[in-house]
Homo-oligomer: A and B are copies of this chain.
């Protein structure tokens, strides 16, 4: 069945143009988004994603036009219309239409229904290569729509058979383009705590890891990452994805780490039972 989308109170076909062209998201990059999916037909960690979405909106001084409860009803409608067991949802909140191209009057709120992304099962077993990239996201706490460097580097990533970029600056690592970074080192699980978007999968993995590993949440340096025992990245679409190569540097022996695969298994178990 074709998907639908919600825009400012209406449910419309997914390919129908919705935004007038004086939207601040389009003209000024003034927008934020969020993205999550269902497991067993139930949105995963919905409260967490909603809270993050609201936090982004608050930091960009935008009012979310409808409540969490109302949004939940919209999600149920879109899900039912899709005819699919599992879907992903993308929220986009922009500065809305601005007569002067500068001042926010009333935000525009879009919810898109999307097909589940490819799961990259090979990557989950074998791990991925990423490219080091000197950059730190602007306003990293906010899930803004600014992904210019990711799109700009898409061809180069393909050329180098890399799956993502690893952002670092002044020797410190922050995150990948759309996912958080973890390392195992000296027997500890370590993840960076600044200049990052607070990933929901990151949060879940920290919860899962607690019972099994000593955990450090702190600044992480590039040198620590490339000499780590294991490296992995977490996101809604990547789950727990081993990183086995950074530029030309192999991580350890270049194979997915055992503890990484163990955490991946815990995560998989959690989501496969979600909503049951």
B residues in contact with A14, CB < 8 Å: 21
B residues in contact with A110, CB < 8 Å: 21
Q: A29-B146, A95-B151 are in contact. Are A21 and B19 (CB under 8 A)?
A: yes
Closest to A24 in B: B151
Q: A60-B152, A144-B148, A152-B61 are in contact. Are A16 and B20 (CB under 8 A)?
A: yes
How many subunits of this chain does the assembly comprise?
Answer: 2
List the interface of chain A (C-beta within 8 A of B).
Answer: 5, 7, 14-31, 33, 60-61, 90, 92, 94-95, 102-104, 110, 112, 138-139, 144-148, 150-152, 154-155
Closest to A14 in B: B21
B residues in contact with A145, CB < 8 Å: 26-29
B residues in contact with A139, CB < 8 Å: 148
Q: A102-B150, A152-B60 are in contact. Are A18 and B21 (CB under 8 A)?
A: yes
A252 nearest CB across to chain B (Å): 29
- Cα distance, A22 to B154, chains bound together (Å): 17
- Check if A150 sits within 8 Å of B17, measured CB to CB: no
B residues in contact with A151, CB < 8 Å: 24, 28, 30, 95, 102-104
B residues in contact with A16, CB < 8 Å: 20
- Cα distance, A25 to B30, chains bound together (Å): 11
